[in-house]
Amino acid sequence: MKHALSVTRQQNFAAWYQEVISEADLAEESGVRGCMVIRPWGYGIWERIQKLLDARIKAAGVDNCYFPLFIPLSYFEKEADHVEGFAKEMAVVTHHRLVGDGKGKLIPDPDSKLEEPLIVRPTSETVIGAAMARWVQSWRDLPLMVNQWANVVRWEMRTRMFLRTSEFLWQEGHTAHVDREDAMRETLRALEMYRQMAEDDCAMPVITGEKPENERFPGAVATYSIEAMMQDGKALQAGTSHYLGTGFAEAAGIKYQDKEGGQQFAHTTSWGMSTRMIGGVIMTHGDDDGLRCPPRIAPWQIVIVPMLRDSDEDEAVLEYCRALSRELGALEAFGEPVRVLLDTKATKAQVKRWSWVKKGAPIIVEVGPRDVAEGKAAVLRRDRLYKDDGKLNTAFTPKGDFVASAAKLLQDIQASLYAEAKARLDANIARDVSDLAAHFKGDEAKFAGWVEVQWARPSGAALDKIVEQLKALKLTMRNAPLDAAPADGACFFTGEPAVERILIGRTY
């Protein structure tokens, strides 16, 4: 069976990933170090993820706002833990003017040096904390829940498109509450929201759980994540939610008068999800012909390719396609109008078909003169592209039947992609491993899934030792699943009584 890509997942997963991104027109290198251009199909997927997640955010009563791109350097000095964790690789603005150097080149004008350098936000806890301190006076002002959709910059030495780029797009939610209980409720609500977004919208099954202490967001009291399993068995952290205690509130001065008239510090949370999710979608659903885009997040769910031959029949084919497009566009799937594209670009039908296969449009419909004559359409389900004999699995369907079943077909594809990924996740968490080195032997590219162990959750030097031990095997602890069975044995690492179960794996 010949595939649309030059490399398969089996041959070289990393090279396959890059080829999907390139061939599906998702993104490309920009010429600016570590920054990518997100192309229309990739950005269209991001817009879908945004739209669906934004509705969930709004439904929770969180208000969207916008905070400055620049953060004065001194803000990073206020919260020591935060400085240690973040104040390293960041883009620093030092001048505000360019001038000619007299030799035809431009240089930063030495006279425009800023008194205080500005940092391009790596995350916005500090600047949003300063605003919250202005906005919160009384318990009546709480909870205060805001979110922003923004670009952030973390200067990365080794970048990989979508997964780790110097600039990326994300949303960051920031909330302030009267007490630990209310803040923790919000932390877990956001986590559950991410789970739903990943599983229901992106068809990407995840494990929700708490990160171990060494993987916490700098300054957080507790960090939770959703972890997804990629097709190479590695974990992708696809969203995080942090309970920050009162540390950030104390640094920023977020105080409120309680009902008894006393002054209290607010308990804050933050939670974020980024364009990294698109990398997760590729590595969860892609196959050797490119991306398979879950219908809920596909910019176009059904693409109609007219087979034109510069002949007299072309107009009849186009007219038939336009009618089909109108009928499909009048349908609803997942509570929204079906998104249909009639691709009339001046390219050969064969080329178009494969470009939509690579992009992963859920349903591709080809219409030629014979289909018009017979009142049919050639329907290709992207998630089941080939028959057992290796031939394309095209269904020549009467037009009316196809229209009548199209919405259900989209729902089936969504469910089928999820089921496939869920089966893989469930089958590849080992719970009876006694020797990690043996289980994860071989090179890093070898599929080994994850291992769940019981542990005593030590901290300090005892934890450091475990982390080092795992690091030597290129492993990390992912999270302690919220719905894991209670611990009932000895700690895998120390032999002490275990208190919880935790997942271990290789990671992106």
Binding segment (CB under 8 A) for a copy of itself, from list 114-122, 171-179, 321-329, 429-437: 114-122
Q: Which of residues 140-159 bind a copy of itself (CB under 8 A)?
A: 140, 146, 150-151, 153, 155
Q: Which helix (H) or strand (E) holds 357?
A: helix 349-359
Confirm or reject binding of residue 104 to a copy of itself (CB under 8 A): yes
Among residues 134, 309, 326, 471, the one that binds a copy of itself under rule CB under 8 A: 134
Among residues 108, 218, 253, 329, the one that binds a copy of itself under rule CB under 8 A: 108
Among residues 7, 15, 60, 169, the one that binds a copy of itself under rule CB under 8 A: 169
Cβ proximity to a copy of itself, 91 vs 429, nearer residue: 91
Confirm or reject binding of residue 447 to a copy of itself (CB under 8 A): no
Tell me the pairing of strands 206-210 and 222-229.
antiparallel
Strands (E), 313-410: 332-333, 336-337, 340-342, 363-367, 376-381, 395-398
The Cα 342–Cα 322 span in angstroms is 7
454 bridge partner residues: 501
Among residues 4, 21, 24, 120, the one that binds a copy of itself under rule CB under 8 A: 120
Q: Which of residues 234-263 bind a copy of itself (CB under 8 A)?
A: none
Among residues 10, 12, 63, 445, the one that binds a copy of itself under rule CB under 8 A: 63
Could you give the string, one character per residue 334-363, with x where binding to a copy of itself holds by CB under 8 A and - elsewhere? -----------xxx----------------
The end-to-end CA distance of the chain, in Å, is 30
Confirm or reject binding of residue 70 to a copy of itself (CB under 8 A): yes
Nearest to 4 by CA among 358, 293, 351, 381: 358
Among residues 12, 18, 30, 311, the one that binds a copy of itself under rule CB under 8 A: 30
Count interface residues toward a copy of itself (CB under 8 A). 66
143 preceded by a cis bond (ω within 30 of 0): yes
Phi, psi (5° rounding) for residue 154? -130, 115
Q: Which of residues 81-100 bind a copy of itself (CB under 8 A)?
A: 83, 87-99
- Residue 239 exposure: Cα atoms within 13 Å on the Cβ side: 33
Confirm or reject binding of residue 127 to a copy of itself (CB under 8 A): yes
Contact by Cβ (8 Å): 437, 226: no
Confirm or reject binding of residue 490 to a copy of itself (CB under 8 A): no
In the three-class reduction of DSSP (H, G, I as helix; E, B as strand; rest coil), residue 125 is classed as helix
Residues in touch with a copy of itself (CB under 8 A): 28, 30-32, 35-40, 43-44, 46-47, 63-73, 76-77, 83, 87-99, 104-108, 112, 117-120, 127, 130-131, 134, 140, 146, 150-151, 153, 155, 167, 169, 345-347
